[in-house]
Structure 1
Amino acid sequence: MKNKKSIKLAVPAPKPRNRVAQNPLLRKGGAHQRARSGERFASKQQARKAAREWKGSRDARLAPCPAHPAA
């Protein structure tokens, strides 16, 4: 079996992958938007402010006049 010739193949090393380019979290890119929770919080704040202003203006109208104290 000494006459058997071995054939050597030159296989190039595989190219290393760019893991950053294929990261599935990076595919979610796009325009930045405010979070939904932030939008909900802002609308709640706005509603509370409107309620405070409404209540304050209502209390000011119903408050007794200091020039005419109640008897």
Structure 2
Amino acid sequence: MVGLSELIVDIVETGRTLKENKLVEVASIYTATARLIANRVSFKLKFDRLNKLVTDLRAIVEEENV
């Protein structure tokens, strides 16, 4: 059914879907961020693997933001 709601709340990354559906952002109500969390033991035992993961993720994010 269409037309039952005056407003919606959506998690938006790029806004492409909003544009595709002819929707307009009225207000930003919250800015969210992604976090990588490891417990202290895992962090110490798997530091090299975690560090590589973080490095790889940062490279991907930087590449996408160019």
TM-score (norm 1): 0.26
Greater relative CO (CA pairs within 8 A, separation 6+): 2
Larger Rg: 1
TM-score (norm 2): 0.28
